[in-house]
Amino acid sequence: MDVEPGTRFDYSNLSSFLLSAIIHETTGMDTLSYARENLFEPLGIEDVRWATSPQGIAVGWARMWLKPRDMAKFGMLFLQKGQWDGQQVIPAAWVEESLTPHAFPKNYHNVLDENGKKDDMPSGENWVAMKFLRPFADGYGYQWWLDKNGT
């Protein structure tokens, strides 16, 4: 281990991809099929696509296509603490935990420095990071960039 746990945050798309591969291996279903059965169908979401690796594993971290109305359903699901039409689709405790920042800017290692920059980003991307991500990125947890109050 390079550093003491809890002292540095390394953003990693690979972690999300590995989770997708684990879902695939443990359930025998590709991640999109698993998500359709356990999340999208209960929400009434029918038209969804998710980019996959050459091995057919959903990338996990991005490149999911949903209609704006269906994206809004996720907001409602979280506002209702994981319930949809009287059914607990995701545990309320998970919703709350996912909106709690677990990593904070001073610990960001490979995302942005204290000025909202990353050495290997072209200057245009640095501007985007400073302008849009940094003002809102007080913390990170469960795939969400969060401000201090968890929104």
User: Can you tell me the distance from the alpha carbon of 21 to that of 56, in angstroms, rounded to the nearest whole number?
Assistant: 9
User: Can you tell me the distance from the alpha carbon of 120 to that of 148, in angstroms, rounded to the nearest whole number?
Assistant: 27
Helix, strand, coil: what percent of the chain each, to 5?
40, 15, 45
37-66 pLDDT tens trace: 999 999 999 999 999 999 888 988 888 999
List the single range of 1-5, 11-15, 24-28 with lowest mean pLDDT: 1-5
| CB burial readout 88-109, b (16+ within 10 A) else e | ebbeeeebeebbebebebebbe
Quote the percentage of the chain above a pLDDT of 70. Answer: 69
Domain boundaries of the chain, sorted by first residue: 10-89, 99-151
Specify whether the CB–CB gap between 10 and 112 falls below 8 A. Answer: no
Q: Is the full-model pTM beyond 0.85?
A: no
